[in-house]
A and B are shown apart, each in its own frame.
Chain A
């Protein structure tokens, strides 16, 4: 029998994989993929809690907003990444490090 905890665990795995991606990838796009995983894990979590606990529609709505905002964020991120590429001719974060210290 699958229980709530199994779903949550899967969500946690996705979350952690996202975090891992975020903190290890050199490529801007690679990092972005990680953030998508993190956001998706969160959305999944909310739906899980909605299904097992709250049982109202608000969990679905919350998940919807998360998805939509993630999309918006992704769009902005990609646009910004593009300007980065135009300035640096690369999107490798280790080579775009003018700001530090």
Chain B
């Protein structure tokens, strides 16, 4: 079901994702971590492509990289001061957390390899999904779609409200 080419791509993407993930998790510099997030997103977007979710991959790139990453970097710089070079991102309680995470990954591994997943008999044909998604969003998924818009509107207004006043305060002080 997967071609060797895809296997190779999977390996490469996995390398990127793990490296980026480790950088996020362990790096002492916040800017490195923030940039590493980029790598992780790209890697996951690659997985999406491999899994035939082309539209999701695109959205992942657009939303995350175009939106969230920039937001992060802004925030990093705003909260730390642009001239501040020591953007430390230190960790606490690593000794307690490491075993926790190791146990977690072991458990998840056991789960993944022992569970009888719901697997279709035939492999999925990889085809563009954009049209189908657009269709579904306006029929079956109309309600979530509309609700999401309310949510985003509220988020927008709320975020602006918080940030706007924050700026004001800064001006005063």
Do A and B interact directly, with beta carbons closer than 8 Å? yes
A interface, by DSSP: helix, strand, loop or mixed?
Answer: helix
Taking CB as reference atom, which chain A residue is nearest B168? A86
Name the interface residues of A1-20: CB closer than 8 Å to any CB of B. 1-2, 4-10, 12-20
Count B-side interface residues using an 8 Å CB cutoff. 82
The distance in angstroms between the C-alpha atoms of A65 and B33, with both chains bound, is 25
User: Which one, A23, A30, A83, contacts B162 given CB within 8 A?
Assistant: A83
Name the interface residues of B20-61: CB closer than 8 Å to any CB of A. 21-22, 24-25, 30, 33-34, 37, 40-41, 44, 47-48, 51-53, 55-56, 59-60
Asked whether, in the complex, the Cβ of A25 is within 8 Å of the Cβ of B89, the reply is yes
The distance in angstroms between the C-alpha atoms of A61 and B83, with both chains bound, is 42
A21 to chain B, nearest CB (A): 5
User: Which one, A9, A40, A78, contacts B44 given CB within 8 A?
Assistant: A40
| B12 adjacent to chain A (CB < 8 Å) | no
Taking CB as reference atom, which chain B residue is nearest A20? B101
The distance in angstroms between the C-alpha atoms of A55 and B72, with both chains bound, is 34
| Contact pattern, B 133-154, Cβ under 8 Å of A = 1, otherwise 0 | 1001100110010001001100
What residues make up the interface of A, taking CB atoms closer than 8 Å to B?
1-2, 4-10, 12-21, 23-27, 29-30, 32-34, 36-37, 40, 43-44, 47-55, 57-61, 63-65, 67-72, 74-76, 78-83, 85-86, 91, 94
